[in-house]
Amino acid sequence: MALLQIRRYPDPVLAKSAAPIAEIDDEVRTLVDNMVETMYAAPGVGLAGPQVAVLRRVVVIDCGGEEDPQLIVAINPEILDRDGESYEEEGCLSVPEYYAKVKRSSWVRVRYQNIDGQVIEMETGGLLAVCFQHEIDHLEGKLFVDRLSSLKKGIFRKKYIKILEQQQEQL
Ligand code: NI
């Protein structure tokens, strides 16, 4: 297994949409192993293909926390149905040190293939529902900051430039 480099905004690969995975072969299995390791090492609660510059429809999620890990590997995930409203704070490994509340659905029904190729349908709410929406957005080239109001986007850009500058100074 290997740690992958996590791409950061404004890397253009994060704005591209990812292609479906036709066959879950050794290459996909290795990619998934590396994505899982990279997510836990970061640490983060989710990671999508484009974040490691792989434009394929795969996400890994673990919203369970250290005490109760609940790893989900979702290949070709899609949202079949959604309901309700949620407005929770989000962050992203590709947008370091910036957090903001984002409007989402509070409940989703999702379908995906697991690593064995089995089709899974799941209904979920709470943090996991937010995670699925956030990660599936990545597959469409969309980041959580793209969902902010234009006013908040302006604030984000100013703050984020400073965050990047500070990180440059630390290098
Ligand atoms: Ni993210």
Write the DSSP string, 116-144: T--EEEEEEEHHHHHHHHHHHHHHTT--G
How many A from CA of 140 to the centre of ligand 1? 12
Q: Which residues are catalytic?
A: 135
pLDDT at position 171 = 67
Helix extents (H) in 7-94? 26-41
C-alpha 138 to ligand 1 mean position (Å) = 7
Which of 1-5, 10-14, 102-106, 141-145 shows the lowest mean pLDDT across its residues?
A: 1-5
Spacing, Cα 44 to ligand 1 middle (Å) = 9
What are the pLDDT digits (tens) for 81-135? 999 999 999 999 999 999 999 999 999 999 999 999 999 999 999 999 999 999 9
> In which region does residue 117 sit, left (phi positive, over 0), alpha (psi from -120 to 50) or beta (all else)?
left
Topology, domain 12-170 = Peptide Deformylase (3.90.45)
Please list all protein residues whose beta carbon sits less than 5 angstroms from ligand 1, which is an ion: 92
- Label residue 67 by pLDDT band (50, 70, 90): confident
Cβ atoms of 50 and 14 closer than 8 Å:
yes
Q: What pLDDT, on a 0 to 100 scale, did the predictor assign at position 35?
A: 98
Cα 95 to ligand 1 centre (Å): 7
Q: Is residue 148 predicted with pLDDT exceeding 90?
A: yes
> What is the 97 CA–ligand 1 centroid distance (Å)?
12
Residue 82 Cα to chain centre, angstroms: 18
Q: Determine how many CB atoms are found less than 10 A away from the CB of residue 39.
A: 24
Note if the bond before 69 is cis, omega within 30 degrees: no
Taking the domains of the chain in order of start, what are their residue ranges?
12-170
